[in-house]
Amino acid sequence: MNKIIYYIDVLLAHNVSEEFTYKHETIEKPRVGMIVLAPLRSGEKIGVITKVNSVLNDSKIKLKFIKEISPEYRLNSKMIKFLNWVSNYNLIDRGLVLKMILSHSKFYFKKKKTKELTSNIKKNIKAIKLSLEQKRTSQDILKIFQQRNFKPVLLDGVPGSGKTEVYFDVIKKFIKDGEQVLIMFPEVSLTGDFVNRIEERFGFSPVVWHSKISTAYKTKVLKSIIDGTSQIIIGARSSLFLPYKNLSMIVLDEEHDSSYKQEEQGIYHARDMSVVKSSIEDIPIILTSATPSLETIFNVMNKKYNKVSIKNKYFNQEENEIFIVNMKKEKLKKDQWLSEKLIKEISQTLKKKQQTLLYINKRGYAPVIICKSCGHKITCKNCSSYLVEHLKNKKLLCHHCGHSILTKGLECPSCQNNDSHFIDYGVGIEKIFTEISKTFPLAKICLFSSDHIKSQDELEIKVKQIKDHEYDIIIGTQLITKGYHFPNLACVGIIDADMTLKGGDLRASEKTYQALYQVSGRAGRAQTKGRVIIQTYYPENETIQSLAQLDRDAFYENEIYYRKLNNLPPSGKMAAIIVSGNNIAKVREQCSIMFGSIPNISELEIYGPAPAPLSKLKGRHRQRFLIHDKKARNMQKIVNAWLKNSKSLSSVNISVDIDPFSFV
């Protein structure tokens, strides 16, 4: 048979939305979805075929030939539909979404045969006895799925209620005949302990996908996902974009967690995109949390999602005791942050040979360093943020870009005074460690934060050590709230509980409640009754009061009422446009251009341009527009029209955040 020249449109995995047309000479006609290597300028890019033509409309156009077509891999129509949906909803270039899908690009053109991922000869399956409530919940979920009603299901349950075992029981029905289940986690840190639980429950090892795994392992995992040999996949948000052979169900664990929101290089929320994925694939999805997001609760109220609940803890039916300490009435000495009540509770817990967790959402020793001579606060050279003092490394560190300077020999950039003229202000995890070490010198204490745990292996070791009671007191940042089960943990102390209630974030109450409720739920998970001490300067605050009364439903009702009253998400719609660049004058010029073409639509409020709270980040100056539509109309259409009417400067970046989660 003679070869024929075909003219094919290719979407490249690049910052573009338009296809490029290439030639390809072959006997067999190329198909849409095939993965190709195509020349671009002096290099080459991976891409996917979106259209195939036998005739070129304009014969004068000079076209390049495709370099290579992957012999065995292609994207199916559902994957391409998902790609387009993610792009259109989030206003991300289609090529950038394709880059997420084909992130491990070299795999598709490997000449050498990829070694199979070795799976474990089957292990003995651990028999788990579900409570009557857990069995009922599992059966309720399966009944919903049997009706082919694939509206998302919220699996709601208090901390320690055994939500994981419930969805494990459901998963058993979905991994027969080569079907695949994706279990998503917000944090890489959670996957290690979870792998062991799956091995015990199902008798085989799952595969894991996230940014920290090696290239060699990624190659093996990707092959097993494409050929269908992997049945359970545990992944971070990027796992949603993998080309599964036979995906049958998605589980989104800790669905409320902010880590599901990608804030850079294509902004999207993996929770929302997973719901879209399940709809396109026509498969069930379970969202699980002890503190569901307001969006999910709102969708349950509006009958868009189903909900099943577990109201009791598995091991211990007793509710935790909550104590509120008004820190305005405490007479604390210098560098003292623990109240008399909390110190007493820690002492009693130690006597009972039980464990205490102290939570403060501040890394380092002190969040601000101030010059005593002139009052200057030491800031980052790349970001508009203060440098945080870290005693362990003897450095001042920026938590946004990683810039650091040594504390030894430090000079004030304002008045040139030396390191003996500085004072630290505020409290971080290391300062609490210093106080606790002096107060309880015989206690075994560990720090649980990203600064003190550097790898997945270190994390797994630390978690095991805590479970084995090698530590009496654990001092942790938000990393410790992520769903760990420590059976002997009886007391939780929350330092500076209202810290995250400050500032102009409309989600501040929701985020604070979720974090504090989750960390409170670490206590009393086994046979021990839990005690939670919340230190606050605003004990009358509604969020703090809801925690004190263990009235989660009241918190959600009040917060949704407030959002509805002000037409805020999820009742109204919001979007942010961030204009950034190395040259502040060019950034301001771009903002001025956009300000001149602001859409004039009734009940559409546009704030800005104004410097973002982090007006400089990683060397780039940032200005922001915030769009608020009380009518909850098509935000994408509004933003698209606005940007098309605004000339864009080449030296400036414009990014869109639909449904903003962070306001920095």
Strand segments (E) across 225-384:
232-235, 247-253, 261-262, 268-269, 285-289, 306-310, 321-326, 355-359, 368-371
What's the number of domains the chain is made of?
4
Mind spelling out the 3-state secondary structure of 182-215?
EEECCCHHHHHHHHHHHHHHHCCCCEEECCCCCH
Residue 404 lies in a domain: no
Q: Taking Cα atoms as reference points, which of 137, 357, 164, 173 lies closest to residue 254? A: 164
Give me the pLDDT at residue 35, please: 96
Between CA 364 and CA 397 the distance in angstroms is 9
The answer to the question of residue 407 being in a domain is no
Alpha carbon separation from 341 to 380, 531, 654 (Å, rounded):
38, 12, 51
Identify the band that residue 211 occupies on the pLDDT scale cut at 50, 70 and 90.
confident
Domain that holds residue 439: 321-362+427-562
- pLDDT, residue 113, reads 61
Rounded to an integer, what distance in angstroms lies between the CA atom of residue 502 and that of residue 46? 46
Considering the domain architecture, whether residues 624 and 550 belong to the same structural domain is answered as no
pLDDT of residue 112: 56
pLDDT confidence of 603, banded at 50, 70, 90?
confident
> What's the confidence (pLDDT) of residue 99?
95
Q: Would you say 349 and 326 are in contact if contact means Cβ atoms under 8 Å apart?
A: no
What CATH number is given to the structural domain containing 634? 3.30.70.600
* Angle made by CA atoms 436, 438, 440, in degrees to the nearest 5: 65
Do residues 289 and 165 both lie within one domain? Answer: yes
pLDDT at 365: 94
Handedness of CA 406, 409, 415, 417 (dihedral sign): positive
Q: What are phi and psi of 416, to 5 degrees?
A: 65, 20
Is the same domain home to 170 and 140?
A: yes
Tell me which residue has tokens 């190709």. 36
Strands (E), 125-189: 153-157, 180-184
Q: Which of 310, 329, 353 is the last residue of a domain?
A: 310
Give dist(CA 123, CA 109) in Å, integer.
Answer: 35
What CATH number does residue 552 fall under? 3.40.50.300
Residue 403 tokens, joined: 């810039």
Q: Average pLDDT for residues 31-44, to the nearest whole number?
A: 93
- Of 562, 590, 607, the residue at which a domain comes to its end is 562
* Cis upstream peptide for 570 (omega within 30°): yes
Of 136, 187, 158, 144, nearest to 286 by C-alpha is: 144
Whether residue 415 is contained in a domain is answered as no
The CATH number of whichever domain residue 65 belongs to comes to 3.40.1440.60
Same domain (yes/no): 297, 326? no
pLDDT digits over 7-32, tens only?
Answer: 999 999 998 889 999 999 998 999 99
Residue 433 has pLDDT above 90, yes or no: yes
Asked if residues 204 and 231 have their Cβ atoms less than 8 Å apart, the reply is: yes
7-42 CB burial, b ≥16 within 10 A, e <16:
bbbbbbbbebbebbbbebeeeeebebbbbbbbeeee
Instruction: Find the length of the chain.
Output: 664
Burial of 73 (0-12, 13-18, 19+ CB in 10 A): middle
Query: For residue 118, what pLDDT is reported?
Result: 59
Q: Are strands 34-40 and 68-74 parallel, antiparallel or unpaired?
A: antiparallel
Percent of the chain with pLDDT over 90: 67
Please determine, for residue 190, whether its predicted confidence score (pLDDT) is greater than 80: no
The DSSP secondary structure of 354-400, one letter per residue, reads -EEEEE-S--SSBSEEEETTT-PBPB-SSSSSBPEEETTTTEEE-TT
Whether 103 and 265 have beta carbons less than 8 Å apart is answered as no
Sequence-separated (6 or more) residues with CB below 8 Å from residue 236: 184, 185, 186, 187, 188, 209, 210, 211
Going from the C-alpha of 516 to that of each of 257, 526, 543, 546, the distances in angstroms are 13, 19, 10, 11
Asked, for residue 369, whether it belongs to a domain, the answer is no
pLDDT, tens digit (0-9, with 9 covering 90-100), for 371-384: 998 999 999 999 99
186, part of any domain = yes
Q: Is the pTM of this model over 0.85?
A: yes
Q: Answer left, alpha or beta for residue 608, where phi above 0 means left and psi between -120 and 50 means alpha.
A: left
Sheet of 388-390, strand order: 388-390, 395-397, 404-406
**Helix 191-202 and helix 456-467, axial crossing angle in degrees, nearest 10:** 70
User: Does position 120 have pLDDT exceeding 60, yes or no?
Assistant: no
Label residue 134 by pLDDT band (50, 70, 90): very high
Query: What does the pLDDT average to over 142-169?
Result: 91
Residue 427 backbone phi and psi in degrees, to 5: -135, 140
Residue percentage of the chain with pLDDT more than 70: 95
369 DSSP β-pair partners: 424
Map residue 248 onto helix, strand or coil.
strand
Q: Are residues 68 and 139 in the same domain?
A: no
Query: Is 504 domain-assigned?
Result: yes
Query: pLDDT tens, 534-588?
Result: 999 999 998 999 888 888 888 999 999 999 999 999 999 999 999 999 999 999 9
What does each C-alpha distance from 385 to 341, 400, 505 come to in angstroms? 34, 8, 17
Short-list 167, 89, 70, 202, CA closest to 659: 89
Which pLDDT score is estimated for 291? Answer: 94
Residues 197 and 260 reside in one and the same domain: yes
Which residue in the block uniquely carries the two structure tokens 């209630």? Answer: 501
Q: How far apart are CA 78 and CA 60, in angstroms?
A: 35
Extract the tokens encoding 81: 């539909």
Instruction: State the DSSP string of 499-552.
Output: GGG-SS-TTHHHHHHHHHHHHHTTSS-SSSPPEEEEEES-TT-HHHHHHHTT-H
Computed from CA positions of residues 627, 631, 637, 642, in that sequence, does the dihedral angle turn out positive or negative?
A: negative
Using the 3D structure, point to which of 521, 539, 562 is the last residue of a domain.
Answer: 562
My answer on whether 47 and 95 are in the same domain is: yes
Classify strands 422-425 and 306-310 as parallel, antiparallel or unpaired.
unpaired
Between helix 163-171 and helix 191-202 the angle, nearest 10°, is: 50
Report if residue 117 sits inside a domain: no
- Quick check: is 121 in a domain? no
CB contact set of 169 (below 8 Å; sequence gap of 6+): 130, 134, 135, 138
**More confident of the two residues 50 and 312:** 50
Q: What integer pLDDT is reported at residue 619 of this predicted model? A: 94
- Both 167 and 20 in one domain: the answer is no
Specify whether the CB–CB gap between 360 and 427 falls below 8 A.
yes
In the three-class reduction of DSSP (H, G, I as helix; E, B as strand; rest coil), residue 253 is classed as strand
Q: Are residues 553 and 445 in the same domain?
A: yes
Q: Tell me: do 305 and 341 sit in the same domain.
A: no
Cβ atoms of 244 and 182 within 8 Å: the answer is yes
**Span 263-305, pLDDT tens digits:** 988 999 999 999 999 999 999 999 999 999 999 999 999 999 9
Closest-CA residue to 589 (of 621, 613, 636): 621
User: Tokens for 236?
Assistant: 């971070």
Which residue type occupies 279? S
Q: Where are the alpha helices (H) located in 575-626, listed in sequence order?
A: 584-595
Assign 106 a pLDDT band (cuts: 50, 70, 90): confident
- Are 344 and 218 part of one and the same domain? no
144 and 56, same domain (yes or no): no
What are the C-alpha distances in Å from 92 to residues 70, 104, 265, 526? 26, 20, 9, 46
